[in-house]
Amino acid sequence: MVKRRIRIARSVGSIPTRSIMKSKQIGGWGERIAENYLKSKGYQILDRNYSSKSFRGPLRGEIDLIAQKNGIISFIEVKTLIGRDRVSIISPEEKVDFGKQRKLRKTAESWLMKKRIPLNTKWQIDVISIRVTKGKAKIWHFENAIPYC
């Protein structure tokens, strides 16, 4: 697992505050930040907000971003946390618990099957964590954060 920390450039736009944005809006904002970050690192975006459903059943899972670099497909979960001027007890990446990890694996396999990509293709599940505190946003990229075996 590779942990990288970078500062968000000012070109991203204004950094939101919790009081003016709802959770869904914060998530969308974080996904756009993550997508720009991935593109700057040479990733090709293959899909966004892919969700899988079981036959006549409820939603099984969603993957925020699917990207590829160096022949490896990365299924990326983006977690964004906008805190007040104090540090949160739990970091955004810690919100990807065992149940969420299981859903991500199954949803990734679903995407591979839907696109007719062999399951023995190299793929991994990454987590991108974005934390906004004191008016500044920071991003961490945890590559291959969730084992799929």
**pTM, two decimal places:** 0.79
Look up residue 4 and give its amino acid. Answer: R
How far does CA 32 lie from the centroid of its chain? 10
The domains of the chain, with CATH numbers, are: 3-146 (3.40.1350.10)
Q: Please report which confidence band the pLDDT of residue 16 belongs to, taking 50, 70 and 90 as the band edges.
A: low
The span from the CA of 119 to the CA of 106, in Å, is 12
- In sequence order, which residues have a C-beta less than 8 Å from that of residue 139 and are 6 or more positions away? 5, 6, 8, 33, 34, 37, 128, 129, 130
What local confidence, expressed as pLDDT, does residue 58 receive? 62
Report pLDDT digits (tens) over 60-86. 789 999 999 999 999 999 998 887 545
